């Protein structure tokens, strides 16, 4: 037992509520521990108030998030980030919001069509997937 045994080795995010969450498991005599952060348990309003645009794609998955998703979207859109970064965050928001409501991604894409190009985002995601597949 080391002094690090009191701390999780890694962390993970739980995107949707689940009753099957574990925070440790053993495999071949090795024990893995991690801390799970449940987005559904987080207060979306507080995250919105923090004002960090990089957290906004997750707001729709949080408690009260579907009611303020457009405000989170506006926070990303109105941020000082570059156009490409805004498009990436809004694309992430669209993908994640589909876990909560299948209609939310379509509405977000319609509102932010000026900054989100599905073709370029899809091409970039496809290229990243190909690179990861080649590495693995």
pLDDT at residue 9, as a whole number: 55
User: Do 97 and 90 contact (CB within 8 A), yes or no?
Assistant: no
pLDDT at residue 119, as a whole number: 46
For 30, the domain range is 3-39
pLDDT at residue 2, as a whole number: 40
Helix orientation angle between 83-97 and 104-111, rounded to the nearest 10 degrees: 160
Mean pLDDT by 10 residues, the chain (136 residues): 48 75 81 82 94 93 92 93 90 90 85 65 63 70
Domain count, the chain: 2
Residues 12 and 60 in one domain: no
Residues 46 and 96 in one domain: yes
């Amino acid at each position: 037992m080391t002094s690090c045994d009191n701390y999780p080795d890694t962390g993970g995010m739980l995107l949707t509520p689940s009753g099957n969450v574990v925070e440790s498991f053993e495999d071949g005599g090795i024990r893995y521990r991690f801390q799970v952060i449940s987005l559904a348990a987080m207060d979306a309003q507080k995250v919105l108030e923090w004002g960090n645009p990089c957290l906004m794609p997750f707001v729709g998955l949080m408690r009260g998030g579907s009611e303020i998703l457009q405000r989170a979207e506006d926070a990303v859109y109105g941020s000082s980030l570059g156009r490409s970064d805004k498009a990436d965050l809004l694309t992430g928001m669209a993908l994640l919001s589909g876990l909560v409501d299948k209609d939310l991604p379509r509405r977000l894409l319609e509102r932010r069509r000026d900054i989100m190009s599905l073709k370029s985002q899809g091409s970039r995601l496809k290229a990243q997937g190909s690179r990861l597949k080649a590495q693995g």
